């Protein structure tokens, strides 16, 4: 009886240890304690006030600096729309694998989770839907999430936007490096079409302000 009790306790301890070593992510829902639909106040109650705040225009300008020919109308957070972006600093990124949190009207509508962190072991703890991890290959991810996705263009990356699942996967050299979480939306392709003209105009306006010679990619 004592041996059975000891074995049972060992099994429980192992499960607890695994749970402590895992950052659980659910597509369309959230990462750890941070969820889609949370208020800014709720987010800051968990993460604190050290995050840098950026506006929609500041974020779009950052894309302009990074790559002027990017198809801005295919970037998830811009398609969804937001009025504030919270950027986690290096100290927070030693505890959280979240890069940025986007808010619209005071509520979270998109979260970027990344493997590009100061501590690689933190990225190794991320587990999506109890099945997918960073560094998993694209074929494994497609096998799990399915074939209903939009392949969005971004220089240097392959991107699979699973709008029905609420997750946007970004692959570098065939392995998962970053993903975005948002509320699943079967109407996302229509939203891309509806916002494309406006987003292009906003991006071109930034280019004009910067004195660039922007040519929209085909």
54-102 residue pLDDT tens: 999 999 999 998 877 788 999 999 999 999 999 999 999 999 999 999 9
- State mean pLDDT over 211-218: 58
Q: What pLDDT is recorded for position 21?
A: 80
Given a cut of 50, is residue 196 above it in pLDDT?
yes
- Residue 34 CA to residue 18 CA, distance in Å, equals 20
Chain-centre distance for alpha carbon 49 = 20
- In angstroms, the Cα distances linking 216 to 12, 77, 102, 158, 209 are 57, 19, 26, 20, 16
DSSP structure string for 85-136: EEE--TTGGGT--EEEEEEETTEEEEEEEES--S-HHHHHTEEETTTB-TT-
What number is the average pLDDT over the span 180-186? 98
Q: Indicate if the pLDDT at residue 168 is higher than 70.
A: yes
More confident residue, 67 or 177: 177
% of the chain at pLDDT higher than 70: 88
pLDDT of 17 > 50? The answer is no
Q: What is the mean pLDDT of the chain?
A: 90
Instruction: Tell the burial category of 201 from Cβ atoms under 10 Å away from its Cβ (0-12, 13-18, 19+).
Output: exposed
**Is 214 a residue whose pLDDT tops 70?**
no
Residue with tokens 């493997």: 115
Q: Which two tokens stand for residue 70?
A: 């990017």
> Residue 9: pLDDT band by 50, 70, 90 thresholds?
very low
What percent of the chain has a predicted confidence (pLDDT) above 90? 80
Domains in the chain: boundaries: 28-195
pLDDT at 70: 84
The pTM of the full predicted model, rounded to 2 decimals, is 0.88
Residue 194, pLDDT > 90, answer yes
């Amino acid at each position: 009886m004592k041996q059975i009790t000891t074995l049972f306790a060992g099994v429980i301890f192992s499960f607890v240890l695994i749970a402590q070593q895992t950052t659980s992510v659910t597509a369309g829902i959230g990462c750890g304690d941070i969820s889609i639909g949370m208020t800014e106040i709720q987010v800051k109650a968990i993460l604190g006030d050290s995050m840098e705040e950026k506006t929609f225009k500041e974020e779009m300008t950052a894309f302009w600096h990074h790559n002027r020919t990017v198809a801005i109308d295919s970037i998830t957070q811009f398609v969804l729309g937001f009025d504030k972006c919270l950027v986690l600093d290096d100290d927070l990124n030693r505890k959280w694998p979240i890069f940025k949190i986007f808010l619209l009207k005071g509520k979270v509508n998109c979260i970027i989770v990344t493997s590009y962190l100061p501590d690689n072991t933190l990225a190794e703890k991320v587990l999506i839907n109890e099945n997918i991890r960073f560094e998993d290959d694209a074929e494994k991810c497609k096998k799990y999430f399915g074939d209903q996705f939009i392949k969005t263009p971004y220089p240097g990356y392959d991107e699979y936007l699973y709008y029905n699942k609420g997750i946007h996967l970004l692959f570098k050299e065939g392995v998962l490096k970053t993903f975005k979480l948002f509320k699943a939306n079967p109407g996302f392709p229509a939203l891309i079409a509806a916002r494309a003209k406006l987003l292009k105009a906003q991006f071109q306006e930034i280019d004009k302000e910067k004195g660039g010679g922007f040519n929209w990619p085909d």
